Amino acid sequence: MVSSSESAQSQTKVPASSSKKLEHIAVVMDGNQRWAVANNKSVSEGHRRGAETLKNVIRGAAELGVKYLTVYAFSTENWDRPDDEVSGLMEILQYHLLNSVDEINENGVRLKFIGDRSKLDPELLPLLDEALRQTKDNKTITLVIAFNYGGRSEIVRAVKKLAKEVLADKVSPEDVTEAFFEEYLDTRGIPDPDIFIRPAGEKRISNFLLWQSAYTEFIFTDVMWPDFSKEHLEKAIQEFGERNRRYGSR
């Protein structure tokens, strides 16, 4: 993951045009299956290779001074994939929760999970909670893992929570602003992404961070996720630094 010596160098490697503005990168980790087919590997091997790529990207993002990295690991729609693929993804998550948290913690990575926990294996939830507990005070970079996550699902769950509080007279409808509503989202306390990166050639957001991406800069690349490297990350950051973010103004 991220070594202390590497993180100490992080503030010197971001282009000046990007470092003042860039705080949060979101990534759709797409292309594992197509990479596996192209390389005569199993789909499970593609996902395992993708998990290794994530380690390298976390390291690279930390070196470049990024404070938040959000990755789309498993969507609410991914349950429709073949059972063996879903089981393989769950096993990869469980493996890393059991075997990688110490390494993550030692390297200053704070973990957060967003998504609907209700459909996850009950045996997985204590592992998630323990990983959050162990890493909650780390400050090098925050890794936000979107697991059983969907942007529409997140908004609906937030509306339901807010509606219950309105019905209980805990909240007045007049109190509700965009900032107020954001406190009910999974991402409360996390800044909106500056860059949204999607590898593997697809040019859509696939129900990822719908609310949060209103003014995000989108960068698409044909590189499959298992082949995505720090150099690709640097290229995306450089492109971001060349853009003029107006937020609706002129």
Clarify whether 56 is annotated catalytic. Answer: no
Clarify whether 78 is annotated catalytic. Answer: yes
Residue with tokens 């150099």: 231
Residues 63, 9 contacting (CB under 8 angstroms): yes
Tell me the C-alpha distance between 234 and 59, whole Å.
12
Token digits of residue 89: 């993804």
DSSP labels for the chain? ---HHHHHTGGGSS-HHHHTT--EEEEE---HHHHHHHTT--HHHHHHHHHHHHHHHHHHHHHTT--EEEEEEEETTGGGS-HHHHHHHHHHHHHHHHHTHHHHHHTTEEEEEES-GGGS-TTTHHHHHHHHHHHTT--SEEEEEEEEE-HHHHHHHHHHHHHHHHHTTSS-GGG--HHHHHTTSTTTTSPPPSEEEE-TT--S-TTSSTTTTTTPEEEE-SS-GGG--HHHHHHHHHHHHTS---TT--
**Of 32, 39, 56, 78, which one is the catalytic site residue?**
78
**Of 30, 186, 194, 227, which one is the catalytic site residue?**
30
- Hey, which residues are catalytic here? 30, 78
